[in-house]
């Protein structure tokens, strides 16, 4: 750590979005940057409610070492780092988003400091809000940002730099031939400093893109390729994200949903292919639209705007942002105590 000039940022206010591009729903993110602005890599990854699932101090230490190794090879390795560099953002600073315009450049330390502090996740919310207010469907890349490697079947050891700890059977990674124990060195020629680098690549990938992975297996090089099918992002879990709360407000009136267990599905006599999401809670106060519409805790949603097929929480949230517009009244049928109840849900 002593070999780095360390800078800590504690607010999103006035953050330079032309430089600091990362998963804004994270609780911790680190950039390894050359003095000329070239980014060597990123650290900080999350894919569930467990903030430390993909991070550890040993893993951070190895990422720091990897960044120093890239620094030692700079600028000869500049071409390999090209894909790691920021892309042109919509706005250069968060407060340029219309929904964040009320935030000042500096925190109000002499007054309402908490209220004056913009949180990083609000950037994701502001981006989605642009589409919602324009009555346009939110694109998959905005709806399902920063996919975790598990989207292609890879799980990385959080104690290591880029070592595969598991490969999901029948996944894209398994079909490509990757195995637990493989060490991923590069993807599309980009050196992998940590899992966050993998997410950077996945975030910017499109349907049909080919990911070229170079790995080491028992110290021998291994080259494999993974082609991303159409709609691959839609399997990403976004329900854990703080920014998904704003989506719940707009699309479901503030419903907190949980998937049914096998036992609950059997008790409700719902087929595995049928929609079945249980209401676990609802927003209160000014955002209590679902509560005012008559929803109750323990209701089981079996039809949503005519959709009766099985959907995850994330897929239902995406449906509300991609297939409905603000101001619609959606028909919803719930199973309540064994009786079907029809409700009308207003969207925001």
Asked whether residue 291 is domain-assigned, the answer is yes
Q: Quick one: pLDDT band at residue 50, thresholds 50, 70, 90?
A: confident
In a domain, 266, yes or no: yes
- Res 51: pLDDT: 67
pLDDT value at residue 52: 74
Q: What is the pLDDT of residue 311?
A: 96
Looking up residue 340, the CATH number of its domain turns out to be: 2.30.42.60
The mean pLDDT of the chain is 95
Is the residue at 274 inside a domain? yes
The reply to whether 306 falls in a domain is: yes
pLDDT tens per residue across span 100-113: 999 999 999 999 89
What residue numbers bound the domain in which 326 lies? 244-346
Over the chain, what HEC string results? Answer: CCCCCCCCCCCCCCCCCCCCCCCCCCCCCEEEECCCCCEEEEECCCCCCCCCCCCCHHHHHHHHHHHHHHHHCCCCCHHHHHHHCCCCCCCCCHHHCHHHCCCCCCCCCCCCHHHHCCCCHHHHHHHHHHHHHCCCCCCHHHHCCCCCHHHHCEEECCCCCCEEEEECCCCHHHHHCCCCCCEEEEECCEECCCHHHHHHHHHCCCCCCEEEEEEEECCEEEEEEEECCCCHHHHCCCCCCCCHHHHHHHHHCCEEEEECCHHHHHHCCCCCCECCEEEEEECCHHHCHHHHCCCCCCCEEEEECCECECCCHHHHHHHHHHCCCCCCEEEEEEEECCEEEEEEEECC
pLDDT (tens digit, 9 = 90+) per residue, 176-232? 999 999 999 999 999 999 999 999 999 999 999 999 999 999 999 999 999 999 999
**Stated pTM of the model:** 0.93
- Counting the structural domains of the chain, the total is 1
Assigned domain for 75 exists: no
């Amino acid at each position: 750590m002593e070999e780095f000039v360390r800078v800590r940022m504690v607010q999103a206010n006035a953050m330079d979005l032309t430089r600091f591009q990362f998963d804004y729903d994270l609780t911790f993110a680190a950039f390894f940057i050359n003095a000329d602005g070239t980014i060597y890599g990123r650290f900080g990854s999350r894919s569930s409610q467990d903030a430390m699932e993909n991070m550890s101090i040993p893993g951070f230490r190895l990422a720091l070492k990897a960044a120093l190794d890239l620094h030692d090879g700079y600028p000869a390795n500049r071409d390999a780092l090209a894909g790691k560099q920021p892309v042109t953002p919509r706005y250069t600073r968060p407060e340029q988003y219309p929904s964040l315009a009320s935030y000042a450049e500096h925190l109000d330390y002499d007054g309402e400091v908490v209220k004056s502090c913009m949180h990083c996740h609000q950037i994701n919310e502001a981006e989605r809000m642009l589409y919602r207010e324009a009555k346009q469907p939110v694109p998959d890349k905005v709806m399902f940002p920063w996919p975790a490697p598990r989207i292609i079947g890879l799980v990385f050891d959080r104690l290591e730099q880029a070592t595969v700890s598991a490969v999901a059977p029948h996944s894209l990674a398994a079909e490509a031939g990757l195995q637990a124990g493989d060490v991923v060195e590069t993807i599309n020629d980009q050196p992998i400093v940590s899992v966050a680098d993998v997410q950077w690549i996945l975030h910017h990938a499109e349907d049909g893109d080919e990911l070229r992975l170079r790995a080491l297996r028992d110290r021998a090089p291994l080259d494999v390729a993974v082609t991303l099918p159409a709609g691959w992002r839609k399997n990403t879990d976004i329900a854990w994200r703080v920014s998904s709360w704003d989506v719940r407000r707009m699309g479901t009136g503030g419903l907190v949903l949980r998937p049914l267990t096998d036992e609950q599905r059997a008790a409700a006599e719902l087929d595995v292919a049928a929609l079945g999401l249980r209401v676990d809670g609802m927003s209160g106060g000014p955002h209590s639209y679902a509560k005012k519409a008559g929803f109750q805790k323990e209701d089981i949603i079996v039809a949503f705007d005519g959709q009766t097929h099985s959907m995850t929480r994330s897929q239902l949230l995406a449906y509300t942002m991609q297939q409905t517009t603000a101001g619609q009244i959606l028909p919803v049928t719930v199973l309540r105590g064994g009786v079907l109840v029809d409700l009308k849900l207003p969207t925001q």
